[in-house]
Structure 1
Amino acid sequence: MKNIITLFLTVIFSISSLASIPDQEKKILLKLYNDTNGSHWNVKWDLNAPISTWYGVKIQNDKVVAINLLNNNLVGKLPVEITKLENLEGLNLFKNQLSGQIPENIGDLKNLKELNLSFNKLTGAIPNSICKLTHLTKLMLFMNDLSGELPSDIGNLKELEIISLFNNNLSGQLPVSLYELKKLKDLVLSSNKFSGQISWSVADMESLENLSLFDNKLEGQIPMNMTKMKNLVSMNVSYNSFTGLVPREIAALDDFNLTMLNQNGVAFQMEVAKEKKGVLAADE
């Protein structure tokens, strides 16, 4: 009798687990599975089992709040329907073989805190709607083939702590609003095609610890007032076309490299200021 009761409770629990997930969210997960060749994933989903047991899916209060399928051999395009998972807080699809573009309405994921689509084969521009993700703390899209400019309103993402977009084909000038990200700790934009100058407003990024801009097309002078950035530990801006003197405090940062490229693509070494001109210039 005891075994029968246990079996009955198990069945009831399984049924309730299946029923607790809204049908719409289940359909979206199935769309993701089918569109990315789920039958060939490294870790597959048992579609007959409760969704709460599906690998990489986190459910909280009967809603899908995170999808973590990194390095799982996802092949295909990211379905636009995924942007309807309105309670999603984390989306990590790092190191797969996703192609196509980032869904234009990615900004509909209002609760998203972490977005990692790095190390895939994504193309196209970073959608402007991404600037609606006001709770986002990590934006990681490195090692793709993304092009176009950074969205001009990226400064709306006040909670951002990490931006990592290296090894893409992004271009244009760094948006003015980028320098308004007071909580940003890591800004990694290396190996792209960014042009223009670093604004002196960079010194307003008071939390910045790591700045990597090497291998772009940036020019002008490295702002002298960067000597006031007390949390800045690591900086690499080599293989751009910066000119002028570099403050000693900046040149002493981890990973700093004085190698630049002139207009003919020939490497040269920037000079380090003999005196502490940085602080004086910043106070003018």
Structure 2
Amino acid sequence: MAMRSFSNTHHAISVIFILFLCVWCNGQEEEASAAPMEETEKEALYSTIQGFVGNWWNGTDLYPDPCGWTPIQGVSCDLFDGFWYVTGLHIGPIDENSLDCAPNVEFRPDLFAFKRLKSLSFFNCFVSPSLHPISLPTDSWGVLSGMLESLEFRSNPGLTGQIPTGFGHLSKLQSLVLLENRLTGELPTNIGNLTNLRRLVLSANGFKGQIPYSFGVLDKLLILDLSNNSLSGPLPLTFGGLTSLLKLDLSNNEMEGKIPSEIGNLKNLTLLDLSRNNFAGGLIQSLEELCSLEELILANNPMGGDLLSVEWNRLQGLVVLDLSNLGLTGGIPDSISGLKRLRFLGLNDNKLTGNLSPKIAAMPSVGAIYLYGNNLTGELKFPEGFYGKMGRRFGAWNNPNLCYPNGLGGSTSHGPYGVRKCQQEVTLYGVDDPDLKSNMGNNGNLNQNSQFIPSLGFSRYGGEVFWCLFLVATSMVILL
């Protein structure tokens, strides 16, 4: 009886709690639907959007309640003190019903009238660099400093000019993305003031000059992408302080100098791409300290040096290793073959020498190995099935002194693409004869004027004996 009474009581409490939740939620919905929007906020929203999509757009008629029952695609709102405020504004063809920009877009001052704006982005909005180029407003960004957390301009070929220094006042900013625009000039040093940044992407613009040392104090950064610009100068030593960084991409610039050893402090780094620059000074040992690294891409730099300066087996997380066209010399160490997770190995277009260890073919995860354009020598001793599996993804061509055994590459077997077969050795009779050696050149080949006939196995006098026998036999035939 006591257990049944407890169960009934528990059930009754649950029912009451559910009813309470329903009433509370209903009240919240009624409050939200009935909540007004400040008139100044609504007018600023209509005017701002109209500046981007065109004067034909009439927000008052189309969206009389933009945060309520007639929401605008790309606009996010939230309640503060019983009023609706705009918290997100996203312009451009992101979704199916998004607002598309007009050819003659303009930034209106009303953009800076929003009191609670947290996120602002423009995608493929400014598209005419020749007919209607447009620059970012230089003033008023500080007005948004108290709330704005994300600012993005993506794929806007008509967006020109420089980054406003006012961006450096957006102290709450966590994400700054300026990707695939036509912005130019030098990077503002006061970007280093944005100490809350987690993501800084300034890729595929026309930025030039050196990377400010102040960027190295952004110790909360997770992603730093400055690729595909015209940045020059050395990699700042302060980058060793970016200890939270997961991805660092500086590829396709004009940077130079030696990679600083401080880069080894980035223990959380999973991607390091410094390809297509002018870095020199060889591979630094501190690369082996990047214990979380999955992709190391240094290709197309006049770096020089050799592969022995790094203990590659310490980078067991590596999936991609691209060291092509670095001017590397020496051999390929066995430690590279110990990378169990490696899928891509690019060592092509260097000056590497020596034999290839069969251990390279035994890497369990590898799917592509490119070694072409080196000076590798000797006989490839890889399993025949390896060539069949890899096909042209095993690239060893343009190594003139590299070959594979004659037994491979028949009608039903596979050989490495672009690699010649090893020539069979010829055993010569009487090779130790001093008279024979005198008829051989410096490279071990017979002189063309030699009377030696290896196919018959005679000595250098063998031709005369054979001729005498021929004359005797001819005479006997005539006498008969």
Shorter chain as denominator, the TM-score bin is 0.7 to 0.9
Aligned pair partner of 1:16 in 112, 115, 124: 115
Task: Give runs of aligned pairs for residues 242-281 of structure 1, distance below 5 A.
Answer: 242-250=352-360, 253-261=366-374, 268-269=399-400, 271=402
- Is the 8 Å Cα contact of residues 150 and 175 (structure 2) preserved in structure 1? no
Aligned CA distance change for structure 1 residues 147 and 212 (closer, same or farther; 3 Å): same
Matching residue within 232, 241, 262 for 2:351: 241
Deviation at 1:198?
1.4
Contact 1:148 1:169 in 2 (8 A): yes
Label 1:5 to 1:230 Cα distance change in 2 as closer, same or farther (>3 A).
closer
| CA displacement at 1:261 relative to structure 2 | 4.2
Deviation for aligned residue 1:207: 0.1
Q: Is the Cα–Cα contact under 8 Å of residues 41 and 72 in structure 1 kept in the other structure?
A: no
1:76 aligned residue? 185
Residue 104 of structure 1 is matched in structure 2 by 213
Report if aligned partners of 1:45, 1:55 keep a CA contact under 8 Å in 2.
Answer: no
Following superposition, the deviation at residue 94 of structure 1 comes to 1.0
Q: Can you list the C-alpha shifts for 1:95-145, whole angstroms capped at 9, x where unaligned? A: 000011100222111111111000001010111101110001101000000
Counterpart AA for 2:216: G
SS at match of 1:154: helix
User: Which residue matches 2:314?
Assistant: 204
Distance change (3 Å), C-alpha of 1:213 and 1:95: same
Q: Residue type matched to 2:116 in 1?
A: S
Unaligned runs of 5+ in 1: 22-38, 275-284
SS in 1 for 2:116: helix
CA drift of 1:251 comes to 5.3
CA contact (8 A) 1:45 1:54 kept: no
Q: TM-score, normalised by structure 2?
A: 0.47
Q: 1:163 to 1:270 in 2, by over 3 A?
A: farther
**3-state SS of 1:235 partner:** strand
Aligned match of 1:123? 232
Instruction: Give 1:146-157 correspondences, 5 Å limit.
Output: 146-157=255-266
CA distance in 1, matches of 2:114, 2:215: 32
Cα distance change, pair 178–146 in 1 and its aligned pair in 2 (3 A): same
3-state DSSP of counterpart to 2:304 = strand
SS of the aligned residue for 1:194 comes to coil
Superposition map of 1:55-204 within 5 A = 55-56=151-152, 63-199=172-308, 201-204=311-314
Q: Kindly report which structure 2 residues correspond to 1:36-55, keeping only aligned pairs within 5 A, or say none.
A: 40=133, 44=136, 51=144, 52=148, 55=151
1:258, 1:271 within 8 Å by CA — same for their partners in 2? Answer: no
TM-superposed CA distance for 1:7, in Å, is 2.5
Shift of 1:4: 10
Work out the CA distance in 1 between the residues paired with 2:149 and 2:194.
Answer: 18
d(CA) in 1 for partners of 2:115, 2:244: 31
Aligned equivalents of 2:214 and 2:189: distance in 1? 8
CA gap of 1:270–1:117, structure 2 versus 1, over 3 A, is farther
Tell me the CA shift for residue 72 of structure 1: 1.6
1:167 to 1:177, Cα distance in 2 relative to 1, 3 A: same
State the superposition RMSD in angstroms: 3.4
Deviation sequence 1:49-95 (CA, Å, 0-9, x none): 974498518xxxx7101101100211111011101111111110110
How far residue 165 of structure 1 moved from its aligned partner, in angstroms, is 1.1
2:38 is aligned to: 7
Note if contact 2:318-2:342 (Cα within 8 Å) is conserved in structure 1: yes
% identical aligned pairs: 31
CA contact (8 A) 2:258 2:279 kept: yes
1:201–1:272 CA distance, 2 compared to 1 (3 A) = farther
Larger Cα Rg: Structure 1 or Structure 2? 2
Out of 193-202 and 2-11, give the one that drifted further: 2-11
